[in-house]
């Protein structure tokens, strides 16, 4: 049996930034630094990882909102550390507060909401939607 979600639960993720994490992956005219979309994705990942060990069999989580501030550039090759904390639990909806740091300073923060779903029902709805594609 999984433990219930509780306010105050935390989790961290560390990665070394690589060339494939560059903002230039999205548009070549951007600076060659760690990209905001990758920061957002890692914030989602670290929060999903925290939830994963507490989900019941057949459950998954999906992101439903994120308010992100990317406040400092990170040179590629630096390590980035992201910390998430559950700050609210409202039924199946969890709210997280996140902070991100590189080796020199804080580089961002975000609030993020995730929702617990029944994987089979969710996937069935997605498959039905895919059939409607023109």
Which positions are catalytic?
Answer: 36, 44, 70
Length of the chain: 134
Instruction: Give the angle 57-45-34 at the CA atoms, nearest 5°.
Output: 170
Token reading at 130 = 């895919």
The answer to whether 117 and 132 are in contact (CB under 8 A) is no
User: Alpha-carbon dihedral of residues 105, 108, 112, 116, nearest 10 degrees?
Assistant: -50
Helix (H) or strand (E) holding 101: strand 93-101
Helix (H) or strand (E) holding 126: helix 119-131
């Amino acid at each position: 049996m999984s433990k219930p979600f509780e306010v105050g639960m935390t989790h961290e993720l560390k990665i070394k930034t690589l060339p494939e994490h560059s903002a230039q992956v999205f548009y070549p005219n951007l600076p060659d630094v760690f990209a905001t979309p990758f920061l957002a994705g890692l914030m989602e990942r670290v929060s999903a990882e925290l939830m994963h060990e507490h989900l019941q069999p057949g459950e998954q989580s999906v992101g439903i909102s994120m308010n992100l501030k990317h406040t400092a550039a990170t040179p590629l090759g630096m390590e980035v550390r992201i910390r998430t904390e559950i700050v609210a639990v409202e039924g199946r909806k969890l709210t997280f507060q996140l902070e991100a740091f590189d080796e020199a300073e804080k580089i961002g923060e975000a609030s993020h909401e995730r929702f617990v779903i029944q994987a089979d029902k969710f996937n069935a709805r997605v498959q039905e939607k895919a059939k409607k594609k023109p």
